Structure 1
Amino acid sequence: MNLSYIPHVIQEGELVVQLTEEDVEEENGVWAQVFLHNDGYFVVRFSSSDENKEVIFKVPYSLFNMPVIIKSWVPNFNFKEEFLRTIPLWVKLPN
């Protein structure tokens, strides 16, 4: 990925960030694969099963220092009935 510097603009004493339409369209494409369910779940669509497995089997994830539990979706998944009875826990010990 190539990085380029775009200088900021100050309008009426306020710092303004300028986005191009291409910037917005590119990000919309990325975030179009993430959906927020009404019950607080995020559903992420992957482009392939290999991509799905790569994310599922990587190291544990956290968001704001809270663990994120990732599960593969199955056709009969019910958000209201899903209840975690076990939670994977990673402990990092010194040495």
Structure 2
Amino acid sequence: MGNSLDYAPPTTRDGKLAVKLTKEDIRESDEHWATSLIRYVLGDTPFEKSMDNYVTTVWNFVHKPQILYHSDGYYVFRFASVADREEVMQADQYTYHNKPFMLRNLEASYLTQNV
């Protein structure tokens, strides 16, 4: 009946709560985000509907990725496969309303390099 939950209580480090991640946690996260790109438009923060239209029109040669917006003004695109992600990365240099559209692979381990 469902998955069991594992619980690792937080510790205190320098007066702040801290949670220790395992290499397995990071590996699972890397696998989950392996097909993803992170995107930022220099000098602009496109609305979600506008970005959806852009992706549908410009990246019509791959399966449409899941589009996730972050309140800091960037998007994460999670593709159906690594092959789709690579096709987008190698297809062209992209702009959005004549502004550079910066793309890079998203890897969870970027966020947890000190584990």
State TM-score, norm by structure 2. 0.39
Higher alpha-carbon Rg: 1
Normalised to the residue count of structure 1, the TM-score between the two structures is 0.46
Q: Which has the higher strand share?
A: 2
More helix by share: 2
Compare relative contact order (CA 8 Å, sep 6+) and give the higher one, 1 or 2.
Answer: 2
